[in-house]
């Protein structure tokens, strides 16, 4: 399996998603991909720091929905193959889907026998798994020291400095996805994206804008994705 780093801009641009791509993904194409329910890591919400007024720290359920919903929509809209989102009730199929998601979250691999059974459950040639690792705002305090006075102690002159802290708000998004062939459990594509951006009102940087950028850059690396119009060659 090839390990690639997608570069978003030529030359000095930031490094994009980390991608593992199997040669099979270039020579084999499923007709239907089943997108299974996403799973979230236990520490998905950044902690610590008092958020500014109007900024809300989500809970784990909200974070999972905030990432998985738009991500699934992006795959449906941009995939060259039929991508179907599936939800299961508390049946054997649902338990298998949850087990596969948990295995991927923990080890980035899935038991081939479970993948094969999920192929029967879903009627798809491949399954798409999503693990949400980090989502939400966090505050970082920066200590700043400034020299602001001089005084004399005995025969010596000393500087008196004061220390203050400045709070900086960051928005976090981190998730990964894997496309797994049901017939043999082979991982055809495994990509992870992580963004942490400072809030800048002048550039309209928000939690939603950071999420959109992360989703676009990750789906760009999907082996069966259509090129985004803005990412294509201009006339």
Is position 200 within any domain? yes
Is position 107 within any domain? yes
CA gap 7, 19 in Å, rounded: 11
Q: What percent of the chain has pLDDT over 90?
A: 69
First to last CA, the chain: 35
Is position 204 within any domain? yes
Residues 131-138, mean pLDDT to the nearest whole number: 96
* Whether this model's pTM surpasses 0.75: yes
Burial of 132 from C-beta contacts in 10 A (0-12 / 13-18 / 19+): buried
Residues 110-122, mean pLDDT to the nearest whole number: 97
Is position 9 within any domain? no
Is position 156 within any domain? no
Instruction: Return the higher-pLDDT residue of 12 and 215.
Output: 215
Q: What does the pLDDT read at residue 194? A: 97
CA gap 175, 74 in Å, rounded: 14
Is position 155 within any domain? no
Closest CA to 37 of 103, 100, 79: 100
- What is the domain-level CATH number for residue 59? 3.40.50
Question: What is the total count of domains within the chain?
Answer: 1
- pLDDT of 6 > 50? The answer is no
Q: Please give the residue range of the domain that contains residue 183.
A: 15-143+171-227
**145: pLDDT confidence band, cut at 50, 70 and 90?**
very low
Is position 152 within any domain? no
User: Which stretch, 52-56, 83-87, 211-215, has highest mean pLDDT?
Assistant: 211-215
Contact 189, 24 (CB under 8 A): no
- pLDDT of 112 > 50? The answer is yes
Is position 233 within any domain? no
What are the two backbone dihedrals, phi and then psi, of residue 161, each rounded to the nearest 5 degrees? -115, 155
Model pLDDT for residues 30-78, shown as the tens digit of each residue? 999 999 999 999 999 998 778 988 899 999 999 999 999 999 999 999 9
- pLDDT of 165 > 60? The answer is no
């Amino acid at each position: 399996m090839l390990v690639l780093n997608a570069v978003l801009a030529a030359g000095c641009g930031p490094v994009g998603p980390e991608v593992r791509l199997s040669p099979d993904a270039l020579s084999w194409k499923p007709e239907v991909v089943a997108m299974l329910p996403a799973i979230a890591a236990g520490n998905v919400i950044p902690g610590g720091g008092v958020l500014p007024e109007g900024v809300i720290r989500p809970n784990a359920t909200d974070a999972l929905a905030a990432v998985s919903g738009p991500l699934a929509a992006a795959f449906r809209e941009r995939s060259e193959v039929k991508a179907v989102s599936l939800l299961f009730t508390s049946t054997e199929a649902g338990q298998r889907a949850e087990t596969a998601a948990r295995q991927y979250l923990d080890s980035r691999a899935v038991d081939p026998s479970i993948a094969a059974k999920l192929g029967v459950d879903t009627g798809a040639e491949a399954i798409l798994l999503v693990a949400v690792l980090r989502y939400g705002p966090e505050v970082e305090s920066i200590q700043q020291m400034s020299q602001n006075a001089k005084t004399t102690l005995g025969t010596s002159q000393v500087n008196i400095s004061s220390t203050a802290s400045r709070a900086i708000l960051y928005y976090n998004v981190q998730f990964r996805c894997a496309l797994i062939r049901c017939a043999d459990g082979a991982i055809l594509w495994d990509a992870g994206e992580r963004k942490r951006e400072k809030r800048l009102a002048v550039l309209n940087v928000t939690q939603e804008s950071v999420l959109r950028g992360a989703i676009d850059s990750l789906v760009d690396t999907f082996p069966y994705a259509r090129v985004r119009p803005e990412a294509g060659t201009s006339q």
